[in-house]
Structure 1
Amino acid sequence: MTIWRGQGRTHKGRRPANEDTLVCRDGDGLWAVIDGMGGHDAGDLAATIIRESLESVALGGGIAHRLLAVDSALQSANHAIRHHAALHLRSKPMGATVVVLLIYRDEAAVLWAGDARLYRHAGQDTVMLTRDHTPVQALVDAGVLDERQAMSHPRAHVIYQAIGNGDKLELEQARFDISADQQFLLTTDGVHSVLTVGDLARLLGEGASESAILKAALDTGSRDNVTAVKVSADEHYR
């Protein structure tokens, strides 16, 4: 049986504080990156609430059951964030984007809200398995913008879905089969706002670590917090 392991790192980059966080539960097949919003304290707390929900969620059964459990945990986190904002912040905006990768046997699933992303790398090819919940992504889908234009668009950081963004949380999800020759990369927008899919394909093809990917993002000019989790099959258990 293939055993999957994740390595993650987060860095505040050029920001005064880090509102990003991550989760690596190798033994349970769950990995996530989270990008808090609302300024320091609010964004950091929102990300922490989500991280703790994902760290404590009980996972069992097949991939469908695991998806339901994670969805429920994130719905609870959404309620907790909304409740805190109403009580302590006069309903000031407070929330986070998130992407969660689940692997069980030869199946995987991704669950996300916002513009945190999951990529799959195999051979020399890297593809994005998520779709940003942003107006700019809609322009890309319509063929109005290409990837580079989208990255520099003045509304690139506007999102319409996030945990804590509304009373009703709509999470997008997808399921897919996997094989041991694939790798997965989860990133917050501090990384992919400056590194294209081609850039990430080159880095992953060269065997770059998650730390090297963060360094590449910062060297390219990212001004945000940066977080990446790289998940691959343990070569001893393929």
Structure 2
Amino acid sequence: MTEIQEETLRGFAVGMTHVGKVRAENEDTYFVDEQKGVFAVMDGAGGMYAGAMASGLVRDALTTIAAPRSGEDLLEQFESRLITAKDRIESASRNADGAHMGTTIAALLTFQKNFACLWAGDSRVYRLRNGKLEQLTTDHTEAQELVDQNVLTKEEARTFARRHIITRAIGTGLDLELELVSGNLRSGDRFLICSDGLTGHLDDSVIGTLLMNGAASLAAHGLINGALNEGGSDNVTVVIVDVDRAPPDEGARN
């Protein structure tokens, strides 16, 4: 009897970032490793130099993740790298006379047929499945807390004066608290990881329409240009991950 091989899925990604129309420096960065199943967006805070350094230190830490042996191994490696990055950010802060440094993170981890999203701050992960867009993350912001308490509506939160104040981050002054959601992958899933430079300008209905725009590279350009056309008041970063069957010679990895 011929043995039936279990389907192995893999994420194929496109990442893009833009400084926007107002900021002098891009404090956003992103990380993509299709082979290891790690995709992330970081949005630095603390001033131009400090924010870019913080997000870059997280990106650099993620590059040291080894080929995972299991989903649990990938998750453990990812979390350990963020602990390392936080230590490096705090050291850099001390060397800069206590200058505040921090960064958000929104990440997608994939292994075989499973995924996990981990995040801290207001960068987001969305999933487009069968034409339906779903926000998988919940913003760690003062505005979102007030929405959860029914003090503000979602519409009011978009213009709330303190909407950019985040309650979780990787950096100085805050404990490292990651939130996690997980689930199963399906061939044809499309994930979007983005900084708030996108969601601050485009609502979910527009994001969903642009995300369905054919190839990932076209969709990514459309999202970036959409934010720029609406003012581009912040750095904007997107990573689009398309889930498909892995080539046969890669099935052994998983």
- For residues 18-69 of structure 1, the C-alpha deviation after alignment (integer angstroms, 9 at most, x for no partner) is 1111111011111001111111111111111100001122241222221111
Q: 1:143/1:6 Cα in 2 relative to 1: closer, same or farther (>3 Å)?
A: same
CA distance, structure 1, for counterparts of residue 130 and residue 77 of structure 2 = 32
Query: Which stretch of structure 1 is more off in the superposition, 142-151 or 198-207?
Result: 142-151
Q: Say if 1:107 and 1:234 are closer, same or farther in 2 by CA, change over 3 A.
A: closer
* Structure 2: unaligned runs, 5 residues or longer: 1-7, 249-254
Is residue 2:163 matched to residue 1:156? yes
**Distance (whole Å) between structure 2 residues aligned to residue 44 and residue 78 of structure 1:** 14
Distance (whole Å) between structure 1 residues aligned to residue 153 and residue 206 of structure 2 = 15
User: Aligned partner of 1:58: which letter?
Assistant: A
Match of 1:193, as an amino acid?
G
> Counterparts of 2:203 and 2:130 in 1: how far apart (Å)?
17
2:228 is aligned with 1:218: yes
Superposition map of 1:1-238 within 5 A = 1-14=8-21, 15-87=23-95, 89-166=96-173, 168-207=175-214, 208-234=218-244
Superposed CA RMSD in Å reads 1.7
Q: 1:171 to 1:235 in 2, by over 3 A?
A: closer
Partner secondary structure for residue 27 of structure 1: coil
CA drift of 1:215 comes to: 0.6
Q: CA deviation at 1:124?
A: 2.2
Are the equivalent residues in 2 in contact too, given 1:193–1:222 (CA < 8 A)? no
Q: C-alpha distance in 1, partners of 2:47/2:180?
A: 28
Distance across 1 between alignment mates of 2:184 and 2:177: 24
**Count of matched residue pairs:** 237
Runs of at least 4 residues of structure 1 off by over 4 A? 234-238
Counterpart of 1:111, as a letter, is L
Task: Pick which of 57-66 and 182-191 moved more.
Answer: 57-66
Higher-Rg member (1/2): 2
**1:206 Cα deviation (Å)?**
3.2
Deviation at 1:146, TM superposition (A): 3.3
Aligned-pair distance for 1:168?
A: 3.0
Conservation of the 8 A alpha-carbon contact between 1:82 and 1:167: no
TM-score (norm 2): 0.88
Tell me the distance in 2 between the aligned counterparts of 1:59 and 1:168: 28
Percent identity of equivalent pairs: 35
